[in-house]
Amino acid sequence: MPYITVGKENSGTIDLYYEDHGAGKPVVLIHGWPLSSKSWEKQMPVLLDAGYRVVVYDRRGFGNSAKPTSGYDYDTLAEDLHKLMTKLDLTDATLVGFSMGGGEVARYLSTYGSGRVEKAVFISAIPPFLLKTSDNPEGIEGSGFDGIMEGIVADRPAFLAGFFPEFYNIDVLGGDRVSDEVVRLSWNIAAAASPVGTLDSVSAWLTDFRDDLTNIDIPVLVVHGDADRIVPFTASGKRIPGLVGDSRLVVIEGGPHGVIWTHANRINRELLDFLGRQARPLEPVVGLS
């Protein structure tokens, strides 16, 4: 398996697992919390079939990557992404950030610029600023994040078992757009993540990305479900276009947080349209949008 070393902790290296497939313009898929690059299962084949080079990687602490006890802030996470982009010498790339991954996209572009990147996509993403403050009344009360951290500390596996039904809106979409097995797979991936990384990442969600977004000088696509219970649309996706000059907002009606699975066909069409290619029909489509 391919790895890139991004740092060191005591006697061990901090290595990120990545996959690099296909040819053509690169598309870098950055996963959300508390999953791994495996969450892009519905997007990778479609992008490869459309003629793109697809790069995915596991954030430090998650998936097959090293699990250090530090570095779960967005300056470090964006630096990890920068080291991967540089190592693979990616140019004319599109960065696609899902959920927490949207933070890497925003901070990377603000810090390192768009020299290697021509487009960016935010899906169910946490920018611009999730925490409610006096100058950010659209945000979420801090007590909500405190509750998440308390749940993780008390019983992380149990917390995750309650988290994923809300991630996919199982009470509404279960059995139709998402199976029990998908929820189980998500739990298995999340349970194997670093307990420290799982907890510390929650604090990173409170990062203020408003200035980062105003520095973005490339076209941006924002996709968000209006029934997202994890990262509410009104606190996040709805506000990103107001801070980015060249942007397009797509709202998925009834879409939960995990739209890259529940509404994969729609996500894939929007991605390929934004990338400048037309999607081939997916088989079977069974009427899903």
Catalytic residues: 99, 228, 257
Residue-wise burial string across 211-234, b where 16 or more C-beta atoms lie within 10 A, e elsewhere? ebbeebebbbbbbbbebbebbbbe
The Cα–Cα gap between 254 and 76 comes to: 34
Place of tokens 């960016």: 120
- C-alpha distances (whole Å) from 230 to each of 100, 176, 225, 262 are 11, 20, 11, 15
With beta carbons less than 8 A apart as the criterion, state whether 93 and 25 touch. Answer: yes
- C-alpha distances (whole Å) from 16 to each of 63, 87, 179 are 9, 12, 30
Coil/strand/helix, residue 146: helix
Q: Residue 29 class from Cβ within 10 Å (0-12 exposed, 13-18 middle, 19+ buried)?
A: buried
Residue 16 tokens read as 């990120």
With beta carbons less than 8 A apart as the criterion, state whether 274 and 248 touch. Answer: yes
- C-alpha distances (whole Å) from 239 to each of 182, 206, 223 are 30, 16, 12
Q: 194: phi > 0 → left, psi -120 to 50 → alpha, else beta; which?
A: beta
Residue 235 tokens read as 């606190």
